Amino acid sequence: MRRQIECSYFNFKVIFASVFVSVLLVGVINCQAVSGNAIRYLDGDTIEFRELSGKTYKVRFAGIDAPEAKQNFGDVCTETLKSAIFGKTLTINPFVKGRYSRTIAQVLDEDKRDVGLYLVSVGCAWMYSTPSHLRKLYRYELVKAQKNKIGLWSEPNPEKPQDYRRREICRGEN
């Protein structure tokens, strides 16, 4: 009886692992790089993206968090993003589908430069859930921008977007 339970448990683990790996592979296969253009700039880290095939969706830049539209530097950072990619063909490397039906992706410009990294380097974004393979480079650019007081780092104590959102939600509850 004990051997039968152990075998059943083993079979369950094998089946579960097989299903789990299959789901992961399907996710990876569906997360292929796609080219297109930004057609709207929602804030400093989110765009509406149109694939060359015509399909449109929201893309949030992976690894960064830029000021919200109504936050200090929100309009400046949105304009900085717009001027960096307006009229350019972009390549997005999707990681996951995030909250609010947005695709979380690394965004590259025509010269294959990481636009999120650029925004960090010009003081328009914090690092935020940065993928492990990008952390060292993003951290380097963030520290350099902070040290040189570039962009939002020119303020003595800039408020993180996540703190701003939390404060605004709490304000709405009162």
- Tell me if 72 is assigned to some domain: yes
- Tell me if 3 is assigned to some domain: no
pLDDT value at position 24?
Answer: 35
Number of C-alpha atoms within 13 angstroms, CB side, residue 52? 8
Q: Tell me the pLDDT tens digit for each residue of 99-131.
A: 667 899 999 999 999 999 999 999 999 999 888
Mean pLDDT is lowest, of 26-35, 126-135, 147-156, 162-171, for 26-35
Domain of residue 112 covers: 34-173
Indicate left, alpha or beta for 76 from its phi (over 0: left) and psi (-120 to 50: alpha).
alpha
- Tell me if 169 is assigned to some domain: yes
Instruction: Find residue 40's DSSP bridge partners.
Output: 48
| Strand pairing category for 90-97 and 103-108 | antiparallel
- Tell me if 107 is assigned to some domain: yes
Give the Å distances, CA to CA, from 119 to 86, 88, 122, 126: 14, 16, 5, 9
Instruction: Find residue 46's DSSP bridge partners.
Output: 43, 60
Give the Å distances, CA to CA, from 129 to 34, 53, 64, 135: 22, 30, 7, 9
CATH number, residue 55: 2.40.50.90
Segment 21-50 mean pLDDT: 74
Q: Which two tokens stand for residue 170?
A: 């709490």
Q: What is the mean pLDDT of the chain?
A: 83
Separation of alpha carbons 74 and 69, rounded Å: 4
- Tell me if 129 is assigned to some domain: yes
Residue with the larger pLDDT of the pair 24 and 70: 70
Q: Is 33 helix (H, G, I), strand (E, B) or coil?
A: coil
- What's the total number of domains in the chain? 1
| Strand pairing category for 56-61 and 103-108 | parallel
Separation of alpha carbons 23 and 29, rounded Å: 10
Separation of alpha carbons 37 and 65, rounded Å: 21
Q: How confident is the model at residue 171 (pLDDT cuts 50, 70, 90)?
A: confident
- Tell me if 5 is assigned to some domain: no
In angstroms, how far is CA 171 from the centroid of its own chain? 26
- Tell me if 15 is assigned to some domain: no
pLDDT value at position 157?
Answer: 93
**How many residues are given for the chain?**
174
In the DSSP assignment, the letter for residue 34 is E
- Tell me if 2 is assigned to some domain: no
